[in-house]
Amino acid sequence: MTDTALDVLAIGNAIVDVIADADDAFLDAQGLAKGSMRLIDEGEAERLYALMGPGREASGGSAGNTAAGLAALGIRTGFIGQVADDQLGAIYRHDIRSLGVTFDTPVRSDVGATARCLILVTPDAQRTMNTFLGAAQQLPPQAIDLDQVRSAAILYLEGYLWDPEVPRAAMEAAIGAAREAGRKVAFTLSDTFCVERHRDGFHRLLDEKKVDILFANEAELAAMTGKDEFEAGLAALSAKAPLLVVTRSDKGAVAVAGAERAEVPAEPIARLVDTTGAGDLFAAGFLAGQARGLDLEKSLKLGAIAAAEVIQHYGARPEKDLKALAGGIL
C-alpha cells in the first residue's frame, strides 16, 4: 500500500522475556503446573528470578514477538507498548529497536517496574510462564500515536492487553483511528484465559465489524464458540470474522474468508526445543503475506515457516534468516 508509512503496527504488552532451563523437580518444588501461564506480583518475580538458572533476556510480549518476526521478514513494522524508566525498560527499547522495529512509546516513571516474563523450559520443550505485568498494563490512550495508527496498513492487537481497563481504552482508540483511515484491524485471542474473561467483549468487536483478521488456536476457538468439534467451531466463528486464521499445532493451520478456505500442514522440524512464541511468529508470517498481498495459502505457508523456525531453539526470536527460509514466497 503506497500511502502507508508502516505495513503493520502492533500494540501489546511490552515484556522482557527471561528464559531458563528447568526440570520437573524444580517446577514441583515451586508448585508450578507445567505448561501453564500465571500472573505474579513484583515480589514473586524477584523471588523466582533468584532461584532460576542462567537466563537469556530479550524484548518479548506476544505482539512484540510478532513485530520482531515481521521485521525479520522485511515488513515495515511498528510497536506500541508501555515500559518504565528502569533498566529492563532500557533493555526492551534497545532490543526491539535493534531488530528494526519502530518503537517510540514514551517511558514513564509512575507505572512501577517494567514487565517481565520468567519462562521455565523443561526438557520436553514445554514452557511454564510466570508473568509480572507491571508497567505494561498501564498503557494509556494518550500514549497511542493516532497518526501512526492511521499510517499503518494493518493494526495488530493482542488479546492479553485487553484484560485491564486502561490499555483496553487505548486499543479501542487505536481501532477507531484505524477504521476511520480505512485500515485493516487484526486481533489475536491470545489465550483461553483471555477468552473466558472477555468472550462477550471479543464477540462485540466482531459484531461491530471492528476486526478484519482474527487469530485463534484450537482451544481458543472452542472457548469462543462453545463447540468442541473443530469444524463446528470453525463454521461458527468464521461466520462472524471476515478472515479467521486457526493454528492447530502439529496439524498445521486453516484460514477461512467467506467461502474461501485454505489449509497448510505444519512445516517439518529437526527437533522441538521450545514452543515459546510459536503462535506469535505464525501471526508474523501470515501478516507478512497479507501485507504483501499474497493469497491465504501462501500467507499460511509463511506463518508455518516462521513458527517452525522459532520452536527449534530457545526464545521467541528467529535465529535463522526468515526471508531466506521463505524462499520465493515473499
Task: Check residue 210 and give its pLDDT.
Answer: 97
In the block, cell 488479546 appears at: 159
Which residues does residue 4 pair with via DSSP β-bridges, in sequence order?
none
What's the grid cell of residue 100? 528494526
Alpha carbons 49 and 61: distance in angstroms, whole number: 18
Task: Check residue 314 and give its pLDDT.
Answer: 80
CATH class as words, domain 6-13+61-98+137-326: alpha beta
Q: Which of 39-43, 71-75, 269-273, 314-318 has the lowest mean pLDDT?
A: 314-318
Alpha carbons 169 and 165: distance in angstroms, whole number: 6
Average pLDDT estimate for 227-240: 97
pLDDT band at 46 (very low <50, low <70, confident <90, very high): confident
Mean of the per-residue pLDDT values of the chain: 94
What's the grid cell of residue 88? 529492563
What are the pLDDT digits (tens) for 154-194?
Answer: 999 999 999 889 999 999 999 999 999 999 999 999 999 89
pLDDT band at 48 (very low <50, low <70, confident <90, very high): very high
What's the grid cell of residue 118? 520468567
Give the single-character DSSP code of 154: E
pLDDT band at 2 (very low <50, low <70, confident <90, very high): very low
Type of residue found at 62: S
Average pLDDT estimate for 258-268: 97
Which pTM does this prediction carry? 0.92
Type of residue found at 44: E
Give the single-character DSSP code of 265: P
DSSP string, 28-85: HHTTPPTT-EEE--HHHHHHHHHHS-S-EEEEESHHHHHHHHHHHTT--EEEE---BS
What's the grid cell of residue 255? 484460514
3-state helix vs strand vs coil in the chain, percent to 5: 45, 20, 35
Percent of the chain with pLDDT over 70: 99
8 A C-beta contact, residue 42 and residue 113? yes
Which residues does residue 260 pair with via DSSP β-bridges, in sequence order?
257
8 A C-beta contact, residue 161 and residue 167? yes
Task: Check residue 1 and give its pLDDT.
Answer: 42
What's the grid cell of residue 16? 522482557
What's the grid cell of residue 168? 483496553
Distances (CA, A) of 99 to 65, 82, 166, 211, 257: 11, 18, 28, 28, 32
In the block, cell 487505548 appears at: 170
Task: Check residue 3 and give its pLDDT.
Answer: 81
Kindly list the domain boundaries of the chain, sorted by start residue. 6-13+61-98+137-326
Task: Check residue 209 and give its pLDDT.
Answer: 96
What are the pLDDT digits (tens) for 97-124?
Answer: 999 999 999 999 999 999 999 999 999 9
Average pLDDT estimate for 253-276: 94
Distances (CA, A) of 207 to 197, 237, 257: 18, 11, 16
Give the single-character DSSP code of 163: S
What are the pLDDT digits (tens) for 160-171?
Answer: 999 889 999 999
Task: Check residue 56 and give its pLDDT.
Answer: 85
Biggest CA–CA distance in the chain, Å, is 55
Pairing of strands 15-21, 37-39: unpaired
